[in-house]
A and B are shown apart, each in its own frame.
Chain A
Amino acid sequence: MSDELKPDALLDRIDYTPAAGSWMDSTVQIMPGMYCYAAKAESVETLGLPNARTWNPLEDDWKLPENWQEIIHNAIKERLEKFRTFKVFMDICVRCGACADKCHFFLGTGDPKNMPVLRAELLRSVYRNDFTKAAQILKMIPGGEKLSGGRPMTLDVLKEWWYYFFQCTECRRCSVFCPYGIDTAEITIMAREIFNLLGLNIDWIATPVSNCYKTGNHLGIQPHAFKDMLEFFAEDIEEITGVNVEPQFNKKGADILFITPSGDVFADPGTYTCQGYLILFKYLKDKYGLDVTWSTYASEGGNFGFFTSHETMKRLNSKMYAEARRLGVKWILGGECGHMWRVIHQYMDTMNGPADFLEEPVNPITGTKFENAKSTKMVHITEFTADLIKHGKLELDKSRNANRIMTFHDSCNTSRGMGLLEEPRYVIQNVCDNFFEMPPNTIREQTFCCGSGSGLNAGENIELRMAGGLPRANAVKYVHEKFGVNTLGTICAIDRAALSTLMEYWVPEVQVYGIHELVGNALILPGEKERETDLRLEPLPGMEDEDE
């Protein structure tokens, strides 16, 4: 990141006053650092999606199909019928501007087209031109076209769409403030579906999707390697605790199938969260005989298909139920992840259910029925762990996290597409004594995105990510300075990767932790030796001296 924009230069640029003139007149300039590379042809081919080819967003010719305008027109038409959200949201925005300064990308870049209302207007202007009576009537009057607020679909407009719909992380913060609940994320989702009909995906989405489809996870980790990685973690844990946690794979007849994003298996600091899961499952196995299995086939909780199209989302998600059925488990437990949980909570059962081959989830250890998951039959790990803690089923040593001064980042998807707010906080407060909230306008349903969600956590768009993450980082910096917070807790795999980079850029003193990493540190395994380090192999509080 050495030759990238320095934080000060980025801050200098911020100005919330739009330039003079009409936004409709300007042509888009695709800026390096702000966009993601084009999808590789082979990744597009794996899924059999249209117009696989090599292309470059910076070149004039995007190698579009001959009839691309017709494709777009028909795609909008079809989606207006299939999605009431889309149709209503196209029609009813009053442009009151309540959403304008709610988007982290607007706050971080000052680019007026990052105001949610204008992002939506990019598409709405074409919708008005092509589909509304008002525009058709106005077109009959000379000069009326300008009054209608419509504009025809040109290549420039398409490029502008592409640039700005890949500057939206589908975080839904705008939707919280809109008097009609207009969700710009929903419009971005439609726009990205349309891009995929023209072969205009970005590679950071297309390649993970292709890997996930073929190999089972975003990173294309093959089954034997997946097993190796978890066993490698088991060795690390054994070194720290003296206990072999013995993960199980593809085990038929297990009680519970566990699925988490593969990022936790592959990338620090998610790997420590993953070790936390392993410790928890070992504990539950030894104490209560709970049998949890991992799957190498359904080894991806995340679903970048969600950022491609509804159909692709469904194709990738199908593996969860298919694997649960094949293994004959009772129900599914899901790890810490944001968009994974939006898909599970709001889409999975509808797309790939009914899950009538599973049982209504009951925690066999506490007897708690997870009523809120009785149809989808998948439970969030913080719901599960909070229940265990509440019933006193976990032996926890908080002091092992005593050097962690925590704050908690609500993921966009779990807060605004689910409402999982208290469960992770309850877990945190039971494994760690020092917890401070960020300011109220930046947490819970008003939480700010990490700036890298919805498949935008690539390397080449780092400037966009650091700008988009500014409001989040700014709030962390505040509690860091005020309370000495040194740890940012998350329940999302993308957050763990993205926020680590973000913190390094804006608040380098703060480290990013998954909640189950803290659980793993605090949980006292039966028969464990006296631990000297935490899962990061750093000395535990009080053990620093002995280390020297």
Chain B
Amino acid sequence: MNQKYMLPLAGVFLLFLLAYAGVEGAGLQWFFGIVIPYLAVIAFIWGFVNRVMGWASSAVPFRIPTTCGQQKSLPWIKQNCIDNPDKASGVFIRMLLEIFLFRSLFRNTKAAFNRDENNRLTYSWEIFLWVGALAFHYGFLVVLIRHLRFFMEPVPASLAFLEYVDGIVQIGLPGIFLSGLVLLAAALFLLARRIFDVKVSYISLAADYFPLFLIIGIAATGIAMRYFTKVDITGVKEFTMGLVTFHPVIPPGVGGLFYAHVLMVSVLFAYFPVSKLMHAGGIFLSPTRNMANNTRAKRHVNPWNYAVDVHTYEQYEDHFRDKMIEAGLPVDKEE
């Protein structure tokens, strides 16, 4: 078995067992329910801010957007204002499309080579990664927003509306939330891709499997609590409201499964800033996407530009003067 994914998988299992046993066996509710979540949130905020500040503190010496369409040039040539923006408004739209619709990933193609009489290389549109990634992220986002109901009293109407839409497919009781299932399915798809697509498997590290297992674990425990073990929801709300109001309480009747869920979420939060998950922040700062392609029209200043040794025209002419004069080339100094 491949330890690149067996170890992260074992790690996530361990986390689950740790919290479950800690609560059910040792009665450590206060540790897994109060200490760990607070620490995780602190680590997340501190780490996230630090990471973004770290990026922001690096200079942007050159304006080097990757241009993906026609530049602005002559007035009668139609510019692609979004894929090759020369104004802030175009950059803004380009970034919106990247962040909300994963536009670049939408372009994805799959190359194939057929060794036959034609020997053709072909490129077909490859949409699955885009669909999977989009489903995964929006599933995650909706789940995250839905969870806000545990941290607010009264629950705002907009949240109730979101729940209504999310629960539009009704099969039995309690009503099904699509987002959680979509998240789980998409995460499983991304995992399958990582394991079975030979190229992706080859480039994957343990750090690529770990967050996927963690999120799958979170989604699975969440779904289990909602549909199967039917966790005591008022107890949970008491607990979460205690956390946000800084008067933490440990409600009776909420079991180990819930604390396992909370521990995995906490680990995800704490892990976020030291991992690739920071792509969520990094995309905003990516200079190939967030800059306008107008370097020839508007001078960009490099904060650390410094003078360099150059070979001046005078040195050049001194070196070649005789030959230049003989060839009839104009010179600045005849002698």
**What is A's interface to B at a CB cutoff of 8 Å?**
11-12, 14, 16-18, 22-23, 48, 80-89, 91-98, 100-102, 107, 112, 115, 117-118, 121, 132-134, 137, 146-149, 172, 175-183, 186, 213-214, 216, 222-224, 227-228, 249-252, 296-297, 310-311, 314-315, 318-319, 322-323, 326, 344-347, 349-351, 353-354, 368, 370-376, 378, 383, 386-387, 390, 415-423, 426, 439, 441-442, 444-446, 470-471, 474-475, 478
Complex interface: chain B residues within 8 A of A441 (CB): 109, 123
Complex interface: chain B residues within 8 A of A149 (CB): 205-207
Establish whether residues A83 and B61, one from each chain, have CB atoms under 8 Å apart when the complex forms: yes
Complex interface: chain A residues within 8 A of B332 (CB): 326
Task: Return the CB mask of B298-335 against A: 1 if under 8 Å, else 0.
Answer: 11111011001111110011011001101111101000
Q: Give 23 CB contacts A-B under 8 Å.
A: A16-B111, A17-B198, A23-B202, A81-B57, A87-B54, A92-B276, A92-B278, A97-B129, A98-B129, A112-B199, A115-B199, A147-B206, A179-B105, A181-B98, A224-B329, A297-B316, A319-B310, A347-B62, A349-B296, A350-B301, A376-B299, A386-B74, A418-B71
Complex interface: chain B residues within 8 A of A82 (CB): 58-59, 61, 304
Establish whether residues B299 and A176, one from each chain, have CB atoms under 8 Å apart when the complex forms: no
B interface residues, how many (CB within 8 angstroms): 103
Name A382's closest neighbour in chain B (CB-CB): B73
Establish whether residues B55 and A87, one from each chain, have CB atoms under 8 Å apart when the complex forms: yes
Establish whether residues A419 and B308, one from each chain, have CB atoms under 8 Å apart when the complex forms: no
Establish whether residues A376 and B296, one from each chain, have CB atoms under 8 Å apart when the complex forms: yes
Tell which of B76, B104, B208, B332 has the most Cβ of chain A within 10 Å.
B104
Complex interface: chain A residues within 8 A of B234 (CB): none
Given A177-B107, A349-B295, A353-B299, the answer on whether A83 and B58 have CB atoms closer than 8 Å is yes
Whole-angstrom distance between the Cβ of B106 and the nearest chain A Cβ: 9
Establish whether residues A95 and B203, one from each chain, have CB atoms under 8 Å apart when the complex forms: yes
Q: Considering the chains assembled together, what is the distance between the CA atoms of A422 and B199 in angstroms?
A: 36
Partner of A417, one of B64, B80, B129, B133: B64
Given A183-B64, A349-B295, A417-B66, output 14 extra A-B contacts at Cβ < 8 Å. Answer: A16-B199, A84-B56, A84-B58, A85-B60, A134-B275, A180-B279, A180-B283, A183-B66, A186-B64, A297-B316, A349-B300, A354-B299, A368-B74, A417-B67
Name A85's closest neighbour in chain B (CB-CB): B287
Partner of B59, one of A81, A296, A297: A81
Partner of B329, one of A137, A183, A249, A446: A249
Q: Considering the chains assembled together, what is the distance between the CA atoms of A147 and B109 in angstroms?
A: 31
Task: Return the CB mask of B74-95 against A: 1 if under 8 Å, else 0.
Answer: 1111101001101000000000
Complex interface: chain A residues within 8 A of B170 (CB): none
Establish whether residues A176 and B295, one from each chain, have CB atoms under 8 Å apart when the complex forms: no
**What is B's interface to A at a CB cutoff of 8 Å?**
3-4, 7-8, 51, 54-64, 66-78, 80, 83-84, 86, 98, 102, 104-105, 107-111, 113, 115, 119-121, 123, 129, 133, 197-200, 202-208, 274-276, 278-279, 282-283, 285-289, 293-302, 304-305, 308-313, 316-317, 319-320, 323-324, 326-330, 332
Name A133's closest neighbour in chain B (CB-CB): B274
Q: Considering the chains assembled together, what is the distance between the CA atoms of A315 and B312 in angstroms?
A: 10
Name B4's closest neighbour in chain A (CB-CB): A22
Complex interface: chain B residues within 8 A of A177 (CB): 104-105, 107-109
Establish whether residues A349 and B299, one from each chain, have CB atoms under 8 Å apart when the complex forms: yes
Establish whether residues B274 and A80, one from each chain, have CB atoms under 8 Å apart when the complex forms: no
Establish whether residues B297 and A371, one from each chain, have CB atoms under 8 Å apart when the complex forms: yes
Given A112-B199, A147-B206, A180-B279, the answer on whether A322 and B310 have CB atoms closer than 8 Å is yes
